[in-house]
Amino acid sequence: MITLARVTAVHPETGTIDCVCINTRRRFAGVRVAQVGASTDTGRIDLPVPGLGANSSASDPALMPLGAREVVAVIAFFGGQALCLGFLPPRTSQMYFEAGRRIDRHGSDVYSSIDSAGNTEWRHPSGSMVRFSESAVPEDLTGQDADGAWAITRNTDRAPRLHVRLANAGVTKFEMTVDPAGNVTMTTAGNISMSTPGDMAIDAANLTINADIATTGTLTNNGVNVSSTHVHGGVQSGGSNTSTPQ
């Protein structure tokens, strides 16, 4: 027999849920949940915490009003034991979008989205995001689902930082951090090489370089050539100083 049950609690530490049958009001505790690719050391565990309706603690769980997050389990019975085969989204949900779109959303409101054109976005509820698409403009999905209910409300006040690390046999070789204020710190154990057929511009209040500098090509300062080919006018033998470069 297979039935539908309303999830009342989750137990990620044991991979189980508590639920109540929607039709019979029969309650089940510690129901194991079938997982994709599950083994001793592989798999994916993501049991969303249900948000039950108002006055849920004093009501029959099967009759509670709809909450902020409804989780409906598909329950089957084997040898008299209940087993959760998966979850069935409610008929009204923030997760129904147009054909061709894939959404993967965590309970924290971190989500990723891929549309039918392959435009891909990974977004944190603070507004931080990474996007690979034809347009650099972030995609706002608020109210764009079929029920007009999509809303990001959790963790919007967080101040995350971006950190990237590359290690070789456990030894860090490269690190880059962008802090919440936008300050960027980058360290590497190797060399850095940048190349472009176009122009490169650095626009900053001040630039400090603590290194020997070798250049090829013309070096100018405020439009004046100060490279190895520049000359000085007004030169006369003796102890006089030359004029500024020309």
Per-residue model confidence as pLDDT tens digits over 95-133: 999 999 999 999 999 999 999 999 999 999 999 999 999
pLDDT band at 145 (very low <50, low <70, confident <90, very high): very high
Which has more pLDDT, 61 or 79? 79
Note the pLDDT of residue 36: 85
Q: Which domains does the chain show, CATH number per domain? A: 2-88 (2.40.50)
Which has more pLDDT, 15 or 60? 15
Which has more pLDDT, 231 or 126? 126
Note the pLDDT of residue 101: 97
Up-side HSE of residue 89: CA atoms within 13 Å toward CB? 6
- Please say whether the dihedral angle defined by the alpha carbons of residues 131, 137, 140 and 141, taken in this order, is positive or negative: negative
Taking the whole predicted model, whether its pTM rises above 0.85 is answered as no
Note the pLDDT of residue 55: 55
Output DSSP code: residue 149.
-
pLDDT band at 245 (very low <50, low <70, confident <90, very high): low
C-alpha dist (Å) from residue 242 to 218, 229, 230, 238: 21, 16, 13, 11
Note the pLDDT of residue 157: 97
pLDDT band at 221 (very low <50, low <70, confident <90, very high): confident
C-alpha dist (Å) from residue 27 to 61, 87, 164: 9, 17, 46
Calpha distance 95→45 (Å, rounded): 19
Per-residue model confidence as pLDDT tens digits over 41-77: 999 889 999 987 655 554 566 666 667 789 999 999 9
Calpha distance 152→166 (Å, rounded): 32
Please, what is the average pLDDT of the chain?
Answer: 90
3-state DSSP call for residue 132? Answer: strand
Task: Say which residues have a Cβ less than 8 Å from residue 193's Cβ, sequence separation at least 6.
Answer: none
In 81-183, which ranges are E strands? 81-88, 102-105, 111-114, 120-123, 129-132, 162-168, 171-178
